């Protein structure tokens, strides 16, 4: 069952249970997925659906920061509740140890292909390789955390 199908089923369940906030959040997610599908003019893959959800999560996190700084805790709490609902549809998040292992492998692979250990200037190439290996495993990871791990590994 794809993410969009799960969301459709959960919308029906939320309607039956009269869960207004959950219903509006799920409809917003479904709308974002449908909009991306229309732009692409063909059905979205699971990776593309996950990418749309990641974008929505990032927007919500930025809103939480803005509302918290602006002294609007009730709006920040509403956005946080939406984050929790959307994250339920995301693949499992990778742990820091798993990410570190993937980053070390990416650095080793780049070192093997070029013959020398990558320098901090080659961070972009390492990030690209690390992100590809993370996607290949089916996990999801925070780009900021991956970036910090890559910086730490290249600084060694």
- Whether 12 and 83 map to the same domain: the answer is yes
Per-residue HEC secondary structure of the chain comes to CCHHHHHHHHHHHHHHHCCHHHHHHHHHHHHHHHHHHHHHCCCCCHHHHHHHHHHHHHHHHHHHHHHHHCCCHHHHHHHHHHHHHHHCCCCCECCHHHHHHHHHHHHHHHHHHHCCCCCHHHHHHHHHHHHHHHHHHCCECCHHHHHHHHHHHHHC
In a shared domain, residues 61 and 12: yes
pLDDT digits (tens, 9 = 90+) for 104-117: 998 888 888 878 88
φ and ψ at 23, to 5 degrees?
A: -65, -50
Choose one of 68, 87, 106: the last residue of a domain: 87
Euclidean distance between CA atoms 132 and 47, whole angstroms: 12
82 and 135 share one domain: no
11 and 83 together in one domain: yes
pLDDT for residue 67 = 96
Q: Cβ distance 102 to 137 under 8 Å?
A: yes
Least confident of 6-10, 32-36, 64-68, 130-134: 130-134
Whether residues 80 and 124 fall in one domain: no
Domain boundary among 87, 106, 141: 87
The per-residue pLDDT for 33 is: 95
Q: CATH code at 13?
A: 1.10.1510.10
* pLDDT score, position 143: 82
Q: pLDDT band at residue 121, thresholds of 50, 70 and 90?
A: confident
Closest by alpha carbon to 110, among 132, 129, 124, 97? 129
127 shares its domain with 100 = yes
Q: What is the pLDDT of residues 11-64, one digit of tens each?
A: 999 999 999 999 999 999 999 999 999 999 999 988 889 889 989 999 999 999
- Say yes or no: 59 and 121 in one domain: no
Report the alpha-carbon distance of residue 123 to residue 131 in Å, rounded.
12
Percent of the chain with pLDDT over 90: 51
pLDDT of residue 19: 95
- Greater confidence (135 vs 89) lies with 89
Tell which residue, 109, 110, 99, has the closest CA to residue 135. Answer: 99
pLDDT of residue 41: 94
Is the same domain home to 66 and 138?
A: no
Whether the per-residue pLDDT at 65 is higher than 80: the answer is yes
Nearest to 75 by CA among 56, 60, 54: 60
Q: Residue with structure tokens 């991306």? A: 36
Q: How many domains does the structure of the chain reveal?
A: 2
**Max avg pLDDT among 64-73, 86-95, 96-105:** 64-73
62 shares a domain with 131 = no
Domain that holds residue 34: 3-87
User: Does one domain contain both 80 and 125?
Assistant: no
Q: Check whether residue 77 and residue 116 sit in a common domain.
A: no
The proportion of the chain whose per-residue pLDDT surpasses 70, expressed as a percent, equals 100
Domain termination residue (choose one: 61, 87, 113)? 87
**One domain for residues 81 and 132:** no
């Amino acid at each position: 069952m794809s993410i969009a199908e799960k969301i459709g089923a959960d919308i029906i369940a939320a309607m039956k249970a009269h869960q207004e906030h959950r219903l509006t959040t799920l409809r917003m997610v479904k709308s974002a997925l449908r909009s991306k599908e229309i732009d692409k003019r063909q059905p979205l893959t699971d990776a593309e659906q996950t990418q749309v959800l990641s974008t929505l999560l990032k927007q919500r996190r930025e809103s939480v920061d803005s509302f918290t700084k602006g002294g609007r805790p009730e709006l920040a709490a509403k956005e946080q509740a939406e984050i929790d609902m959307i994250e339920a549809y995301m693949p499992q998040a990778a742990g820091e140890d798993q990410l570190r292992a993937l980053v070390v492998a990416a650095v080793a692979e780049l070192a093997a292909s070029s013959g020398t250990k990558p320098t901090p200037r080659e961070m972009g190439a390492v990030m690209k390789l690390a992100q590809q290996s993370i996607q290949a495993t089916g996990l999801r990871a925070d780009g900021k955390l991956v970036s910090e791990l890559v910086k730490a590994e290249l600084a060694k």
